[in-house]
C-alpha cells in the first residue's frame, strides 16, 4: 500500500485579489496606468519590498524618504536619478502623484506614518508589526475605516501558497479537532541576532537624527541606535514584535483564530550582551478560547532564541485529534495522520492472557511491514512550493491588486493588529512580569 504522497504547489493557488478596476478615490488609476509608489524607510526590508513591488509589473517608484542620506543615494543608484528623495517623509506624502507608500521604517514610526499617509489619501503597505505598542493599534484601524484607504501589513505568510494550502487542509478537517500549536524560530548568527553593519559615514551631517528620534524618547546622536534599532525598546518590539508576529499572522490565517485571551511570556538576555535592552531568549504561552465555526479552545507555545548554536531553523506544528500539520521550512508542508493503533502494555500479563490480547490486537490492527518509504505513520502527505518560491512577491502582488480593484487587502489593519497584539502583549508580560488578558474580538485589554 503506498504510504507517502507528494504534491507540488503552484502560485496559481495563491488566491490573488480580484482583477484590476478603477480606483474609487485618490488619483484615478486606469488599468493601463502604472500604480505610483513611494518608499518611506529605505533599509534592508524597505528596499526588498520596493524591489518586489516593482517586479509585480505596472508599478513605478517615484519617491523615497529616509533619514540617512546613504540610503537615499543608494535608492537613486538602484532606481534612477529621477527618483525624488527627501529626509522628511511628509514631503513624499504631499505629492499628489503618489498612490501608495511602502513603510519600511523601524517599528516606532509605523503608526504615525501609516495614519499620516492614509489621511494624505495614500494606500499603505506597512511592514510588520503594524504598531509598536498595544495602545497604538486601534488608531490605525480607525484611520483605515475612516479614510477608506487600502492598508496592508507586510507579514507575507498571509499570501504564501504553503500557508493557503495549510488553511485548506485545516478547514477540510485533515487534523480533526485542533488541540495545540507550537512554533519555534532559532538563530545563532550576529546578523540573525540583529548586529547590523554601521556605515562609515554615519555622522550627524548624513543622518537627520532629530527626525529619527522624534517618535521616541530624546537621546543624543548614536548611530548604533539607528542602525541596530531592534536592540532597543525605544524603537523596536524585541523578538516578539520582530518574529512572533509572523507566526501569529500565519497561524491566524490557517486557523481563522483572531487572538488569545491570555498571554504569558518569559525569557532573558543570555548571550548578546552588546548593550541591548531586549531579551535574546523568549518564550510565549497563549491560551485561545473556542471560536464558533473556526476552532475549539487550544494552547499555543512559541519560542525564539538567538543562542542556539546551529543554523537558523524554524518550525510550526498544528496538532489535532486526527493528525499533525507541520511546516518545517519555508517550502514544505507535511500532513501526518495520527497513528490508529493504540499500542499495548501487556508484559505483566500472564502468558495465556498476553496471547489472547495479541491475537485480538493483530486482528484489529494488522501489522504493517516497515520499509524505507513508510517509516513515518501511514498516509503521510507532503506539499512543496517550487524551488526559490517567494511569498513576499505574492504579498506585494496582492497589495497592488487591492490598490487597483479597491477590494480589501489580505492583511488589513484589523488582521494586522490582531497578529501584532499578542506579540506586543508578550512584551508587556515579560517586562511587567504578569499574565495579560486580552479580548481579541473587541481588540481591548
Ligand atoms: N516582512 C518581513 O519579513 C520583514 C523582514 C525584515 C524587516 N521587516 C520590518 O521592516 C521594518 C524595517 O526593518 P529593516 O530591517 O529594513 O530596518 P533598517 O534599519 O534596515 O531600515 C529602516 C530604515 O528606516 C529609516 N528611518 C528611520 N526613521 C525614519 C523616518 N522617520 N523616516 C524615514 N526613514 C526612517 C532608517 O534610516 C533605515 O534606513 C521593520 O518594521 C521590520 O520589522 C519585515
Same domain, 368 and 240: yes
pLDDT computed for residue 10 by the predictor: 74
Helix (H, G, I), strand (E, B) or coil at 244: helix
pLDDT computed for residue 201 by the predictor: 98
Same domain, 41 and 67: yes
pLDDT computed for residue 340 by the predictor: 77
Which of residues 158, 189, 205 is at a domain's end? 158
Residue 184 lies in a domain: yes
CA distance 377 to 392: 33
Which of residues 140, 158, 176 is at a domain's end? 158
Which residue ranges have their beta carbon within 6 Å of ligand 1?
40-46, 65-68, 71, 89, 104-107, 109, 127-128, 154, 156, 211-212, 226, 229, 242
Provide the H-helix boundaries in 82-220: 89-93, 110-119, 137-147, 161-171, 209-213
Residue 201 lies in a domain: yes
Residue 395 lies in a domain: no
Inter-residue contact 178 to 442 (CB < 8 Å): no
Determine the structural domain holding residue 108 and report its residue range. 12-158
Atom number in ligand 1 closest to CA 45: 16
Helix (H, G, I), strand (E, B) or coil at 366: coil
Same domain, 31 and 101: yes
What are the C-alpha distances in Å from 163 to residues 170, 246, 267, 317, 391? 10, 12, 28, 12, 10
Q: What is the CATH number of the domain that holds 70?
A: 3.40.50.720
Which of residues 158, 188, 213 is at a domain's end? 158
SS3 content of the chain, % helix, strand, coil (to 5): 35, 20, 45
- C-alpha cell, 378: 501511514
Residue 7 lies in a domain: no
Atom number in ligand 1 closest to CA 229: 19
Q: What is the CATH number of the domain that holds 261?
A: 3.30.360.10
Choose one of 38, 43, 115, 391 to mutate for the ligand 1 pocket test, by most ligand atoms within 8 angstroms of C-beta. 43
CA distance 49 to 401: 15
Same domain, 147 and 226: no
Same domain, 143 and 187: no
Choose one of 38, 40, 41, 133 to mutate for the ligand 1 pocket test, by most ligand atoms within 8 angstroms of C-beta. 41
Nearest alpha carbon, ligand 1 atom 32: 66
Same domain, 204 and 332: yes
- Give 105 Cα–ligand 1 centroid separation in angstroms: 4
Residue in 85, 53, 304, 301 with CA at minimum distance from that of residue 179: 301
Residue 6 lies in a domain: no
Residue 127 lies in a domain: yes
Nearest alpha carbon, ligand 1 atom 13: 45
Going by the DSSP 8-state scheme, the letter that residue 108 receives in this structure is G
Choose one of 127, 210, 211, 248 to mutate for the ligand 1 pocket test, by most ligand atoms within 8 angstroms of C-beta. 127
Q: In total, how many domains does the chain have?
A: 2
Same domain, 153 and 293: no
Same domain, 102 and 242: no
- Give 103 Cα–ligand 1 centroid separation in angstroms: 8
- C-alpha cell, 420: 501584532
Inter-residue contact 65 to 40 (CB < 8 Å): yes
Place of cell 502604472: 34
Residue 420 lies in a domain: yes
- Give 278 Cα–ligand 1 centroid separation in angstroms: 18
CA distance 75 to 110: 21
∠ at Cα 437 (410, 134), nearest 5°?
50
- Give 238 Cα–ligand 1 centroid separation in angstroms: 14
- Give 130 Cα–ligand 1 centroid separation in angstroms: 12
Same domain, 99 and 168: no
Same domain, 361 and 422: yes
Same domain, 312 and 414: yes
Residue 46 lies in a domain: yes
How many CB atoms neighbour CB 306 within 10 A? 25
- Give 80 Cα–ligand 1 centroid separation in angstroms: 21
pLDDT computed for residue 370 by the predictor: 66
Same domain, 107 and 181: no
What are the C-alpha distances in Å from 281 to residues 243, 278, 305, 327, 412? 12, 9, 4, 22, 30
Place of cell 529616509: 66
pLDDT by 10s per residue, the chain, length 445: 335 677 878 765 444 443 333 333 468 898 899 999 999 999 999 999 999 999 999 999 999 999 999 999 999 999 999 999 999 999 999 999 999 999 999 999 999 999 999 999 999 999 999 999 999 999 999 999 999 999 999 999 999 999 999 999 999 999 999 999 999 999 989 999 999 999 999 999 999 999 999 999 999 999 999 999 999 999 999 999 999 999 999 999 999 999 999 999 999 999 999 999 999 999 999 999 999 999 999 999 999 999 986 788 889 999 999 999 999 876 789 998 887 788 899 999 999 999 999 999 999 998 877 666 655 556 688 999 998 899 999 999 999 999 999 999 999 999 999 999 999 999 999 999 999 999 999 999 9
- This prediction's pTM: 0.93
Burial class (CB in 10 A: 0-12, 13-18, 19+), 98: buried
Amino acid at each position: 500500500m503506498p504510504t507517502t504522497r507528494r504534491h507540488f504547489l503552484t502560485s496559481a493557488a495563491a488566491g490573488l485579489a480580484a482583477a484590476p478596476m478603477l480606483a474609487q478615490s485618490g488619483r484615478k488609476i486606469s488599468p493601463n496606468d502604472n500604480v505610483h509608489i513611494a518608499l518611506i524607510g529605505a533599509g534592508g526590508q524597505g528596499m526588498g519590498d520596493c524591489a518586489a513591488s516593482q517586479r509585480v509589473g505596472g508599478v513605478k517608484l517615484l519617491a523615497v524618504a529616509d533619514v540617512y542620506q546613504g540610503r537615499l543615494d543608494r535608492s537613486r543608484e538602484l532606481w534612477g536619478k529621477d527618483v525624488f528623495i527627501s529626509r522628511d517623509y511628509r514631503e513624499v506624502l504631499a505629492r499628489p502623484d503618489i498612490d501608495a507608500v511602502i513603510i519600511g521604517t523601524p517599528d516606532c514610526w509605523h503608526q504615525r506614518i501609516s495614519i499620516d499617509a492614509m489621511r494624505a489619501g495614500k494606500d499603505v503597505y506597512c511592514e510588520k508589526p503594524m504598531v509598536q505598542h498595544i495602545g497604538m493599534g486601534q488608531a490605525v484601524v480607525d484611520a483605515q475605516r475612516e479614510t477608506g484607504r487600502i492598508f496592508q501589513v507586510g507579514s507575507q505568510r498571509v499570501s504564501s501558497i504553503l500557508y493557503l494550502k495549510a488553511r485548506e487542509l485545516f478547514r477540510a478537517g485533515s487534523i480533526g479537532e485542533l488541540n495545540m500549536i507550537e512554533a519555534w524560530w532559532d538563530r545563532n548568527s550576529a546578523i540573525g541576532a540583529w548586529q547590523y553593519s554601521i556605515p562609515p559615514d554615519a555622522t550627524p551631517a548624513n543622518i537627520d537624527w532629530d527626525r529619527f528620534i522624534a517618535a521616541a524618547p530624546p537621546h543624543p546622536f548614536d548611530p548604533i541606535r539607528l542602525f541596530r534599532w531592534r536592540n532597543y525598546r525605544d524603537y523596536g518590539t524585541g523578538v516578539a514584535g520582530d518574529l512572533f508576529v509572523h507566526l501569529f499572522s500565519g497561524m491566524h490565517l490557517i486557523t481563522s483564530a483572531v487572538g488569545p485571551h491570555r498571554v504569558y511570556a518569559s525569557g532573558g538576555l543570555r548571550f548578546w550582551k552588546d548593550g541591548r535592552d531586549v531579551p535574546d531568549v523568549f518564550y510565549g504561552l497563549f491560551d485561545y478560547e473556542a471560536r464558533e465555526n473556526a476552532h475549539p479552545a487550544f494552547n499555543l507555545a512559541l519560542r525564539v532564541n538567538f543562542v542556539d548554536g546551529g543554523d537558523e531553523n524554524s518550525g510550526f506544528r498544528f496538532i489535532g485529534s486526527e493528525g499533525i500539520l507541520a511546516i518545517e521550512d519555508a517550502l514544505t508542508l507535511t500532513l501526518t495522520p495520527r497513528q490508529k493503533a493504540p499500542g499495548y502494555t501487556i508484559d505483566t500479563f500472564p502468558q495465556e492472557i498476553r496471547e489472547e490480547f495479541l491475537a485480538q490486537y493483530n486482528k484489529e490492527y494488522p501489522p504493517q511491514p516497515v520499509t524505507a518509504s513508510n517509516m513515518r505513520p501511514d498516509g503521510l502527505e507532503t506539499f512543496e512550493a517550487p524551488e526559490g518560491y517567494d511569498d513576499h512577491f505574492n504579498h506585494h502582488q496582492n497589495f497592488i491588486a487591492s490598490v487597483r480593484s479597491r477590494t480589501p487587502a489580505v492583511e488589513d489593519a484589523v488582521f494586522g493588529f490582531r497578529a501584532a497584539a499578542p506579540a506586543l502583549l508578550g512584551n508587556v508580560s515579560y517586562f511587567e512580569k504578569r499574565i495579560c488578558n486580552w479580548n481579541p474580538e473587541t481588540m481591548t485589554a
